[in-house]
Structure 1
Amino acid sequence: MSFPELHQPQEPSGHAPVVLLHGGNVANWMWDPQLPALKDRLVVTPHLPGFGERTSELWPGLGEVADDIVQRVRDLTGHDRFHVVGLSLGGAVALHLAARHPKAALSVLASGVPLLPVTGIPRIATRLHLALWRQAWFWKAQAAAFRLPADSRGPYVDHGLSVRKETARAMLADVHSGRIPEGLSTYDGPLLLVAGEREPRTVLRSLAAAATLVPRATTRLVPNMHHVWNIEDPDLFDTMIRDWLAEQD
């Protein structure tokens, strides 16, 4: 199934485009619940290299992916400036985009990003994840653990099986390094870091450390939410995005 990257507003508006960057092990279809709430804007939901319709590509690194997204948005829309929203892997890419292309990112909202290195049991779990990468039952268990609704579990399993293990290994090593993008400290646009209250411990620790690591960022903890909470509670996620964008307009 093909999932479009460009979504035109229902009516012309003066709003700047918004770019939604998907998480790892999924593709741009994860943003389907948000599209109706953003129907007054030009929305871009790009496929990251190695995912979605780009599974044949290698993972080039977070910085290079950020460069790729800026160029892809320009090619698709003709716009040089846009708001950026990212979850998990997409949030990490969003921070690198802000650091490398500060004039392109009008604002950044990143949810569920590890700003500290992932170590201990989560790191061991990652090795197990890679060992079981080709097992459909494992992806089904992951979908249940993330509390994905029934209609999202099929695409999640199918897409997970389509991603190359080499891509996943390189991407996870990149994200789990917990690197603060060089240059992020000089980004002067609005920056919001968010985490669900029931996220992995590294993400929660990262949010708590953000005051030191990314002192310009505003931080928010969302009660009762897990990692993929744009699907877990789409109405709440939609409200957050719309309120955030309204503040920037």
Structure 2
Amino acid sequence: MTSANDQGKNPMADPARDATDYPEVHPARRKPEDSAPVQTLVFLHGGNVGNWSWDPQVLAFGDFNILTLHLPAFGARFEENWEGLDSAADDVAALIADEVSEGGVHLVGMSLGGVIALHVAARHPELVESVFATGVSIAPLGTAAKAVQRMQLKLIGSEWYWKFQAGAYGMVDNERELFAEHGVKLKPENMRAIMGDLDSGGLPADLSAYTGPALVLAGASEPKFVQRSFPAIAEALPQAAIRVVPGMHHQWNIENPLLFNSVLRRWITGQQLHQVLREPVEPKLRGASFKRTSTLEEIDPQEAEAAAGAAQAPDAGAADSGQPAPESKARGFADRLDPRKLDPRKLDLKSALSKKPPVAKRPSESDGSAE
């Protein structure tokens, strides 16, 4: 494993980061205010970013030892093959055992990293003090949603695609470049294998083995299928607190690092819930609209299933009324995902990204303790 000191890098003094060589080990830079033993935070990144994405948290939690691990097939390990969720969890557990001499760790996982955090807790509960998982989708996807995911694989080698996605996440300029630099290196076969693991649901079989505290979150502006995972998680992990973060999208540790850090600090220092968090509302089964956040659209799987079913049995009434049939609508969406049919004139990054709202300033060390 590599630390900032090993590489002669100081993340506080040198803001430059590398998409595939961000340090994994960050020793505490100051003692906790209550003179308690220094605890360890383990950050597990999502399935389209590297460990560099946790830099706002590394800066803010200087009173903790921090591990920002490279997950298999990502970051410095992008050339490795993905071997499955259980294998990734065992890999994380082995790295924790190597670096943490005493006490359990606070697992913090985003998206794919959140799923892996649940697998670590299930398979190695003795290593875990608490779990904080956000953006976790473990509900099985429908056929149409799977097809959309596979079409996105056509785009992962395109730098413009990652830059547009970065803009949707609210990343600042340097992060946008890192996001694109990292994204184009991901191997399509690994991404396909990860999708295959998650298609049928990524909930670990023995999650009840973990009896410690857990907080499971979703941004209110994430695709609604994320919240559809809540009931299964609640059943498997009844002690978990499950909440929604108003106004936030998927990568909200970057979108609003000050809020993320405040929510996280309250949780890991006493399992307290931040006042901004809200109880989840039962999602609608039908009728929700598509929400555009980038050049691609986030699709509700159930709506996609309904569209697929309608495509197989076209609505004669629609044809009579002169309205486009559901089949043509579904085909039109697929066409928009086909990179061969994209209009280059619509790929003006400077114009598109200039319409994004201002991004919050990079947090200082003191921001992590803000309430």
TM > 0.5:
yes
Give the unaligned 5+ runs of structure 1. none
Counterpart of 1:66 in structure 2 is 89
Indicate which of 227, 243, 265 corresponds to 1:242: 265
Secondary structure of 2:125's partner?
Answer: coil
Deviation of 1:79 (Å): 4.3
Could you tell me the percent identity over the aligned residues?
A: 43
Return the index of the structure with the highest Cα Rg: 2
Whether 1:36 aligns to 2:62 is no
TM-score, normalising length from structure 1?
Answer: 0.94
Secondary structure of 2:69's partner?
Answer: coil
Secondary structure of 1:58's partner?
Answer: coil
Counterpart of 1:144 in structure 2 is 167
Counterpart of 2:219 in structure 1 is 196
Given that residues 115 and 203 in structure 2 are in contact (C-alpha distance below 8 angstroms), is that contact kept between their aligned partners in structure 1? no
Whether 1:47 aligns to 2:70 is yes
Whether 1:166 aligns to 2:185 is no
> Given residue 11 of structure 1, which amino acid in structure 2 is its aligned partner?
R
Indicate which of 29, 33, 38 corresponds to 1:10: 29
Instruction: Write the distance in 2 (CA, Å) between the matches of 1:80 and 1:128.
Output: 44
Instruction: Write the distance in 2 (CA, Å) between the matches of 1:240 and 1:20.
Output: 15
Distance 1:100 1:209, change over 3 A: closer
**Which consecutive aligned stretches of 4+ in structure 1 deviate over 4 angstroms post-superposition?**
none
Instruction: Write the distance in 2 (CA, Å) between the matches of 1:53 and 1:161.
Output: 13
Counterpart of 1:104 in structure 2 is 127
Instruction: Write the distance in 2 (CA, Å) between the matches of 1:141 and 1:48.
Output: 24
Secondary structure of 1:201's partner?
Answer: coil
Counterpart of 2:156 in structure 1 is 133
Deviation of 1:77 (Å): 3.6
Instruction: Write the distance in 2 (CA, Å) between the matches of 1:146 and 1:129.
Output: 17
Instruction: Write the distance in 2 (CA, Å) between the matches of 1:124 and 1:224.
Output: 28
Q: Please, what is the CA RMSD of the aligned residues? A: 1.8
| Aligned pairs for 1:178-189 within 5 A | 178-189=201-212
Secondary structure of 1:221's partner?
Answer: strand
Counterpart of 2:10 in structure 1 is none
Deviation of 1:11 (Å): 2.6
TM-score, normalising length from structure 2?
Answer: 0.64
Counterpart of 2:342 in structure 1 is none
Given that residues 28 and 38 in structure 2 are in contact (C-alpha distance below 8 angstroms), is that contact kept between their aligned partners in structure 1? no
Instruction: Write the distance in 2 (CA, Å) between the matches of 1:153 and 1:65.
Output: 27
Instruction: Write the distance in 2 (CA, Å) between the matches of 1:38 and 1:171.
Output: 30
> Given residue 72 of structure 2, which amino acid in structure 1 is its aligned partner?
P
Give the unaligned 5+ runs of structure 2. 1-17, 273-371
Given that residues 115 and 202 in structure 2 are in contact (C-alpha distance below 8 angstroms), is that contact kept between their aligned partners in structure 1? no
- CA shift digits 1:192-222 (9 cap, x unpaired): 1000001112102113554334322110100
Deviation of 1:248 (Å): 5.3
Instruction: Write the distance in 2 (CA, Å) between the matches of 1:145 and 1:176.
Output: 24
Deviation of 1:120 (Å): 5.0
- CA shift digits 1:97-155 (9 cap, x unpaired): 00000111111010000121122554232111111221112222222233323331110
Give the structure with the larger helix fraction: 1
Given that residues 195 and 207 in structure 1 are in contact (C-alpha distance below 8 angstroms), is that contact kept between their aligned partners in structure 2? no
Secondary structure of 2:263's partner?
Answer: helix
Whether 1:219 aligns to 2:239 is no
